[in-house]
Amino acid sequence: MLTRTPWWIRIPVLFFLVFGLMEYFIDSGEQPAFMTYPITQFFLVLVLLLLIAIELILKAIENVMFQTLSKEAKERYLADKEKRWEWTWGKAVYAKMTRTKRIEEEAEIILDHNYDGIRELDNVLPPWWVYMFYATIIFGVGYLVRFHVVGDYTQSLEYDQEVAQAKLDIEAYKKTAKNLVDVNTVEVLTDASDLSAGQKIFEVNCVACHMADGGGGIGPNLTDAHWILGGGIKNVFNTISEGGRDGKGMVAWKQSLKPLEMAQVASYVLQFQGTTATNPKAPEGEVWINPDAPKAEEVVPEAPKEQASDSTTVAMN
């Protein structure tokens, strides 16, 4: 079969065969071997060159052999070559799977009714369709037995398992992808390592204006419930990232701090809430009420301290 196939089929088939074997035998973890081990790309190029070289050599041999043939043999050989290459096996399967009648044979299957000149052929159902139909029946029986007779696990159980797994995956992803936070996804970080990292960043960059205890100086007091630019992790993150109002002195830090670092220092800044600074600056701005928090009247006696104090300050205003 190979000698009858043209080179443009032979080369790709052999190439992908080698490629497939290579991927199968080289253990390269999640990524394909040709990505994990770039040296294999070199190997594949070599294989390709080799295949092309073999083709060229075969062609040359064919030419030489052709010259040695007698005149009639040459003609026969050329005539043989003229016949276009056909994928006989593929054609046979196609014919078997469709069982269509050729136009010349249609007379055999034409039905004898005639509606205003429109007539109907009695074609058989195409075998590819019939086999698929049988396959669905077998599948249906299997499914029935699996889920309605045995029934030890259901779709909703599968769903719950997948959701649980996805939650674990998200947690794992968040751990590795902390640097992807932005103002929309940022959340208060509570890990001691994050907070101490935040503290370091604060001490290096921010104390000059906000003081080490957050009491404020050039910058506003960060320990009280009043915020000029809004409290809560998202606003604070945004202020740090984008800076304060023009000309006030609070620059945008997104150039010099990574997203994770801004989340860390923002979380650290929020730790100042409710502490007392040695030399606090007078409150500036508004008391910030978290719009996501439960409303004041809904606050039950055991509600978290922070919301309770917010509502009392509001009441006093």
How many whole angstroms separate alpha carbon 25 and alpha carbon 218? 66
Of 33 and 229, which has the nearer Cβ to ligand HEC?
A: 229
Write the CA distances from 64 to 50, 60, 233, integer angstroms. 21, 6, 81
Q: Among the candidate windows 125-133, 145-153, 218-226, 299-307, which touches ligand HEC by CB under 6 A?
A: 218-226
Q: Among the candidate windows 76-84, 127-135, 151-159, 199-207, which touches ligand HEC by CB under 6 A?
A: 199-207
Of 51 and 236, which has the nearer Cβ to ligand HEC?
A: 236
Burial of 108 (C-beta count, 10 Å sphere; 0-12/13-18/19+): exposed
How many whole angstroms separate alpha carbon 276 and alpha carbon 40? 64
Orientation of helix 39-68 relative to helix 7-25, angle to 10°: 150
Give me the least distance between CB of 184 and ligand HEC, in Å please: 18
Of 215, 220, 232, 259, which lies in the binding site for ligand HEC, with binding defined by CB under 6 A?
220
Give me the least distance between CB of 155 and ligand HEC, in Å please: 48
Of 28 and 205, which has the nearer Cβ to ligand HEC?
A: 205
Q: List the structure tokens of 45.
A: 């190029």
Give me the least distance between CB of 243 and ligand HEC, in Å please: 8
- Which residue has the CB atom at the shortest distance from ligand HEC? 244
Looking only at the bridges linking them, the beta strands covering 226-227 and 110-115 are unpaired
Give me the least distance between CB of 161 and ligand HEC, in Å please: 42
Residue 225 binds ligand HEC, judged by CB under 6 A:
no
Binding to ligand HEC by CB under 6 A, coded x per residue (else -) over 246-285, reads: --xxx--x-----------x---x---------------x
Residue 287 binds ligand HEC, judged by CB under 6 A:
no
Window 226 to 245, contacts with ligand HEC (CB under 6 A): 227-229, 236, 239-240, 244-245
Closest CA to 189 of 181, 252, 239: 181
Give me the least distance between CB of 308 and ligand HEC, in Å please: 22
Three-class secondary structure of residue 111 per DSSP: strand
DSSP classification of residue 180: G
Largest CA distance in the chain: 115
DSSP β-bridge partners for residue 227: 286
How many whole angstroms separate alpha carbon 263 and alpha carbon 198? 8
Give me the least distance between CB of 274 and ligand HEC, in Å please: 15
Closest CA to 303 of 287, 290, 316: 290
Residue 219 binds ligand HEC, judged by CB under 6 A:
yes
**In sequence order, which residues have a C-beta less than 8 Å from that of residue 226 and are 6 or more positions away?**
220, 283, 284, 285, 286, 287, 288
Give me the least distance between CB of 315 and ligand HEC, in Å please: 22
Binding site for ligand HEC (CB under 6 A): 202, 205-206, 208-210, 218-220, 227-229, 236, 239-240, 244-245, 248-250, 253, 265, 269, 285
